[in-house]
Amino acid sequence: MTVPTHPADSASSAGCHPPVWICATCAIEHPDTPEPPQVCEICSDERQYVPPGGQRWTTQAELAEAGHRLRFTELEPELFGITVEPRFGIGQRGLLVRTNGGNLLWEPPGYIDAVAVAAVRALGGVAAVAASHPHLVGSSVSWSRAFGGVPVLFAEADRQWVRRPDPAIELWKDEKEVLPGLTLVPCGGHFPGSAVAHWAEGAEGRGALLTGDTLGVGADRASVGVMRSWVNHVPLPPRAVRRIADALRPWHFDRLYGGFSTIDSGAEEAVHRSLERYLLWLDDRAPVDT
């Protein structure tokens, strides 16, 4: 199923005062203020970047005027991918997971408009919004408000990175079953509160893991990597890699949906094999071939 949207249908911040400012680099919304912030703290951190041209801000109205829209693609029964076209910000693939107890919007896009909201409503709406880490929260609060102020789940360990405070934001820690069969699992690594979501009914009942880039899918789509900063090539120390592996060990899954691509099958074995390989190199135990 593909549902394109069009600028003319935008439910943007055009009629709102003050506007909702969105960082053009990471696509994360910021507080409603007459003037935009001086800097985006997310992009100023060593894990992200401010582009050579400097800090730039945009709004939903401006994005709609530029022709942005959302595309929905059915990835498997009860799971839909959501992407912004043309690409905006980090460009992650959002996911809408449908359960008998309601739907989870995972890694929400930074763009939202009326047609997209209608499309999500037709798929059962949103009961909760969550993301793997602060880089991929997008326009979480705007999505929450579009569905009556549903909870926006934000890891307590990363609370300093909340960019648009709102009563809908709920801090969480430890494992948390958000909806029946859908559990947030804290892993750490990329950020202290980085997490994945385990979907028990995914992959035809074999289990699926939604990872953002807590685990990044390799180009071979048969391996994963972990990093403190993907864009600046900063690795994680061995203790962080082991923590991720230990956090995932109790969970079984056959498929893995990353922020940008998918491991269709054999994902559980691929994850643990990849992390062990990573530790071999970090611990200087790998065969020397260079």
Instruction: Give the model's pLDDT for residue 17.
Output: 65
SS3 helix, strand, coil % of the chain, rounded to 5? Answer: 20, 25, 50
* Residue 188 binned pLDDT confidence (cut-offs 50, 70, 90): very high
Would you call the peptide bond into 86 cis, given omega within 30 degrees of 0 as the criterion? yes
- C-alpha to C-alpha distance for 278 and 224, rounded to whole angstroms: 10
DSSP the chain: -B----GGG---STT-SSPEEEETTT--EEEE-SS--SS-HHHHSTTS---TT---EE-HHHHHHTT-EEEEEEEETTEEEEEEES--TT---EEEEEETTEEEEES--S---HHHHHHHHHTT--SEEE-SSGGG-TTHHHHHHHTTS--EEEEGGGGGG-SS--TTEEEE-S-EEEETTEEEEE--SSSTT-EEEEETTTTTTT-EEEEETTSEEPTTSS-EE--SBTTTTBPPPHHHHHHHHHHHTT---SEEEESS-EE-S-HHHHHHHHHHHHHHHHTT-S----
Instruction: Pick 7-282's CATH classification: 3.40.50.920, 3.30.230.10, 3.40.50.720, 3.60.15.10.
Output: 3.60.15.10
Structure-derived torsion over alpha carbons of residues 150, 96, 116, 127, reported in degrees to the nearest 10: -20
Would you call the peptide bond into 108 cis, given omega within 30 degrees of 0 as the criterion? no
Give domain limits for the chain. Answer: 7-282
* Residue 4 binned pLDDT confidence (cut-offs 50, 70, 90): very low
Structure tokens at 105: 């919007």
107 bridge partner residues: none
pTM of structure = 0.92
Q: What's the pLDDT tens digit per position in 40-53?
A: 999 999 999 999 99
% of the chain surpassing 70 pLDDT? 94
Residue 200 has pLDDT above 50, yes or no: yes
Q: What is the average per-residue pLDDT within 146-162?
A: 98
- C-alpha to C-alpha distance for 112 and 110, rounded to whole angstroms: 7
How far CA 278 is from CA of 244, 251, 259, 285, in Å, comes to: 12, 20, 20, 10
Q: What's the pLDDT tens digit per position in 66-100?
A: 999 999 999 999 999 999 999 999 999 999 999 99
Cβ(106)–Cβ(134) under 8 Å?
A: no
Q: What's the pLDDT tens digit per position in 224-273?
A: 999 999 999 999 999 999 999 999 999 999 999 999 999 999 999 999 99
Cβ(173)–Cβ(153) under 8 Å?
A: no
- C-alpha to C-alpha distance for 280 and 137, rounded to whole angstroms: 32
